[in-house]
Amino acid sequence: MIAGIGYLAMGLLLLWVGWNHWRYRKEETISILEAAIVKATGEEPLPTTRIDWFLKYLQAILGFILGPIFAFLGIIVILGELEML
């Protein structure tokens, strides 16, 4: 049951990550870690490169593919455990 809840939570998290990356795919965004480093050093963030844009699209696509898979697996595990009761 706990594994099913974990899979379901992971699937929902991946869907949320995919949605956020897809929604902001055309904007120049930086990660929280990079923002903290930039704030601490007082430097300007580096401009985004082609690999940054590619990785943003890749993370969105993988979130949309793997999110439903994990969520479906979690539902199957939960329903399988409930059926055994």
Task: Give the C-alpha distances (Å, rounded to integers) separating 27 from 4, 15, 20, 57, 64.
Answer: 35, 19, 11, 12, 19
Percent of the chain clearing pLDDT 90 (strictly above): 61
Threshold 0.75, pTM exceeds: yes
Work out how many domains the chain is built from and give that number.
1
Task: Give the domain extent around 77.
Answer: 2-84
Which whole number is the average pLDDT over 55-78? 95
**Could you read off the pLDDT of 32-49 as tens digits, one per residue?**
888 899 999 988 888 888
Which whole number is the average pLDDT over 17-42? 88
